[in-house]
């Protein structure tokens, strides 16, 4: 037995400044009210991550530092931290996020008072650490909720109705050894809670103990694994829900006879489409309008295209996606030096938008020359706003496969 109650597991790679910012928050609150350890797993960082861990250990933080010989990816690094943990409970903490210590104390108190509960989940805040303020809860829990062992139906309804993502949690260490397995097609948070419920009750408390940092004072722009996942993982989200349904059916806790199976499939589809609508907005914010359009077509099938944010994006999708398609087509051709905008009233503005959407900076955007030389014609792609001018441009010497009409591009974007 160990006298460490909670192992806070921090996988990290090449992010020493973020780790420092996180560990400083523990210096401000050394006494959590229970014994704990900070298990840092370093994925063979080339920076001074090890020195930062050593520095804060010397300042009194209960750090145990483990360095992997090679960077084997995120999951092995987290697993290294968990498997080196010695606490009665264990949790994951990203190296660029923060904890809410009062909420964490309440969660530990709940687990102490309910020794049969396998895992305790909680909602979490999106947090602007630059402004020092919480922005919003990722999901809401109105009161503590407990789901008894193998009662998959009520848990499934809770997740689908509240659009709950059971990501932030404190696990009993013995339970974690069972549920911590690699998942490629079934989102881990849903499959883990399914496995935990198979072993015993699971709980959700209403007091958050975690802050997911959206803006960090260490660097205003940074890679965020969670954000990237939101933009691409919608089918794995569905896979995780389906895994939960699978576990429920196998244990006889869910009746899928008659039309119940199709209704549940529809609910899964709607859950997934909501996540896809978030991803669509994020891709559009990155000026990836082709990807946003692809998601729009799938969101329409789920009937969620009337959301105000989606309607706003819908208005600009045909133009922006079409221009981006043009930029990608032009970039793919070797040896081009010019993009000719024919019969466009504002070549400079459209050219600027094309550059923002990814047109190769080396390609010069120009208006149609009065008498195009062979040199320009052989090194140019052309897009004309008037389809009737396409044949004229080809006769002027521009290459047929590189003369596009506006309608050629817009026709492929149906909204």
Structure tokens, 61: 């933080």
331 and 316 assigned to the same domain = no
Question: In this structure, are 307 and 165 located in the same domain?
Answer: no
Contact (CB, 8 A) for 275 and 223: no
| 173 and 314 belong to one structural domain | no
pLDDT digits (tens, 9 = 90+) for 87-133: 999 999 999 999 999 999 999 999 999 999 999 999 999 999 999 99
As given in the structure block, the two tokens for residue 344 are 């466009």
Is 297 a member of any domain?
yes
pLDDT digit string, tens, across residues 216-228: 999 867 666 667 7
**Structural domain range at position 337:** 326-410
Task: Output the pLDDT for position 2.
Answer: 67
User: How does DSSP assign 214-256, residue by residue?
Assistant: EE-SS-SS---HHHHHHHH-HHHHHHHHHHHHHHHHHTT----
40, containing H or E segment: strand 36-42
- Provide the pLDDT for residue 224: 65
Same domain, 353 and 240: no
- Across the chain, which has 415 residues, the per-10-residue mean pLDDT values are 89 96 92 94 96 97 95 89 97 97 97 98 96 94 96 95 96 94 94 97 98 90 72 90 93 88 88 89 92 91 80 89 94 95 93 96 94 92 92 94 90 85
317 and 361 share a domain? no
Q: How far apart are CA 54 and CA 340, in angstroms?
A: 59
Q: Which of 322, 347, 380 is the last residue of a domain?
A: 322
**What pLDDT was estimated at residue 216?**
93
Instruction: Assess whether 129 and 59 both reside in one domain.
Output: yes
**68, two tokens:** 């992997």
> Does 393 lie in the same domain as 303?
no
Last residue of a domain, one of 215, 244, 259: 215
Do 65 and 182 belong to one domain? yes
pTM greater than 0.75 (yes/no):
yes
- Looking at the fold, whether 349 and 303 belong to one and the same domain comes out as no
Residues 330 and 297 in one domain: no
Query: Does residue 274 sit within a domain?
Result: yes
Residue 198, domain member (yes or no): yes
Q: Is the dihedral of CA 251, 254, 257, 262 positive or negative?
A: negative
Please report the DSSP string for 328-380 in residue order: HHHHTSTT--EEEEES-S-HHHHHHHHHHTT--TTSEEEEPPSS--HHHHHTE
Let me know whether 206 and 256 are in one domain: no
Question: How, if at all, do strands 63-67 and 202-204 pair?
Answer: unpaired
Counted domains in the chain: 3
pLDDT the model gives residue 98: 97
Residue 220 resides in a domain: no
Residues 64 and 184 in one domain: yes
**Residue 415 lies inside a defined structural domain of this protein:** no
Last residue of a domain, one of 196, 215, 234: 215
Q: Is residue 103 part of a domain?
A: yes
Answer yes or no: is 355 within a domain. yes
* CATH assignment of the domain containing 33: 3.90.550.10
Residue 163: per-residue pLDDT: 93
Residue 1 lies in a domain: no
Output the CA torsion sign for 202, 207, 213, 218.
negative
Say if CB 398 and CB 382 are below 8 A apart.
yes
**pLDDT at position 254, please?**
87
Sign of the alpha-carbon torsion through 362, 368, 374, 380 = positive
């Amino acid at each position: 037995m160990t006298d460490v109650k909670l192992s806070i597991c921090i996988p990290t790679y090449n992010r020493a400044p973020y780790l420092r910012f996180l560990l400083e928050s523990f210096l401000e609150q050394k006494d959590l009210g229970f014994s704990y350890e900070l298990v840092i797993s370093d994925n063979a960082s080339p920076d001074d991550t090890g020195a930062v861990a050593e520095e804060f250990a010397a300042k009194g933080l209960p750090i145990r530092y483990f360095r992997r010989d090679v960077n084997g990816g995120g999951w092995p690094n987290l697993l290294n931290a968990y498997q080196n943990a010695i606490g009665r409970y264990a949790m994951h903490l990203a190296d660029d996020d923060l904890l809410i210590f009062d909420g964490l104390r309440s969660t530990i108190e709940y687990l102490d008072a309910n020794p049969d509960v396998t895992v305790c989940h909680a909602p979490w805040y999106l947090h602007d650490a630059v402004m020092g303020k919480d922005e919003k809860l990722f999901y809401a829990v109105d009161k503590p909720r407990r789901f008894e062992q193998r009662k998959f139906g009520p848990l499934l309804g809770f997740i689908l109705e509240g659009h709950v993502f059971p990501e932030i949690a404190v696990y009993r260490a013995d339970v974690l050894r069972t549920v911590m397995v690699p998942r490629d097609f079934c989102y881990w948070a849903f499959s883990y809670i399914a496995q935990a419920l198979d072993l015993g009750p699971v709980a959700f408390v209403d007091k958050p103990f975690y802050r997911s940092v959206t803006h960090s004072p260490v660097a205003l722009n940074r890679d965020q694994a969670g954000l990237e996942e939101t933009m691409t993982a919608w089918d794995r989200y569905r896979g995780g829900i389906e895994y939960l349904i699978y576990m429920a059916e196998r244990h006889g806790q869910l009746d899928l006879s008659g039309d119940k199976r199709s209704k549940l499939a529809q609910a899964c589809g709607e859950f997934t489409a909501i996540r896809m609508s978030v991803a669509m907005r994020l891709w559009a914010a990155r000026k990836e309008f082709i990807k946003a359009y692809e998601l729009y077509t799938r969101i329409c099938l789920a009937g969620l295209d009337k959301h105000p944010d989606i309607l706003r994006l819908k208005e600009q999708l045909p133009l922006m996606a079409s221009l981006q398609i043009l930029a990608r087509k032009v970039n793919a051709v070797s040896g081009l030096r010019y993009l000719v905008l024919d019969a466009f009233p504002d070549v400079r503005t459209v050219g600027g938008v094309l550059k923002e959407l990814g047109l190769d900076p080396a390609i010069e955007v120009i208006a149609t020359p009065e008498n195009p030389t062979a040199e320009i014609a052989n090194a140019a792609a052309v897009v004309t706003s008037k389809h009737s001018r396409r044949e004229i441009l080809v006769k002027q010497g521009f290459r047929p496969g590189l003369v596009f009409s506006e309608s050629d591009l817009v026709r492929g974007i149906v909204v």
